[in-house]
Amino acid sequence: MKKITILIQLTLCVGLAFAGFSAQAEDVKGSAQAGNAKVWLCTGCHSIPDYRADYPLVYRVPMLGGQNAAYIASALAAYKKGERKHPTMRSIAASLSDQDMADLGEYYAAQTASSPNNPLK
């Protein structure tokens, strides 16, 4: 009986810990204005039409203006976790917080597909 009680308590604690982590991740709200100060990391590649990066393979670098904010944040998180493999993006994403990713997502979502993707004025 004591083992069952301990198991129930342990299960409850683990469940609450995951619930707290999930709630914290959902509380991050991006700001396009805050992203404006962070976008300098991105413009060197993502503001050049038809740009191709050639290390270690040839990659077509997409323009990000008008992209969905949540998609950008989740793509950056995937690079940070190593789920996406481009080495430069993995390095950049490793330095970003969840807030940075959300801000960059909102910044690009505020742009249009034909925007030059330069910082907001």
What's the whole-number mean pLDDT along residues 29-58? 89
**pLDDT tens track for 28-37:** 999 999 999 9
pLDDT digits (tens, 9 = 90+) for 90-102: 999 999 999 999 9
Q: For position 53, what pLDDT does the model report?
A: 85
| Per-residue model confidence (pLDDT) at position 2 | 56
Q: How far is CA 88 from CA 7, 13, 26, 28, 85, in A?
A: 44, 38, 27, 25, 9
User: Which position has the higher pLDDT, 1 or 82?
Assistant: 82
Instruction: Give the span between the Cα atoms of 120 and 101, in whole angstroms.
Output: 17
Backbone angles phi, psi at 64, to 5 degrees: -105, -10
Would you tell me which CATH number, out of the four given (1.10.760.10, 3.30.70.20, 3.10.20.30, 2.60.120.10), belongs to the domain 31-121? 1.10.760.10
Q: What is the pLDDT of residues 56-79, one digit of tens each?
A: 678 899 999 999 999 999 999 999
- Reported as a pLDDT band with limits 50, 70 and 90, residue 8 is low
| pTM score of the predicted model | 0.72
Predicted local distance difference test score (pLDDT) of residue 121: 43
* Averaged pLDDT, 41-51: 88
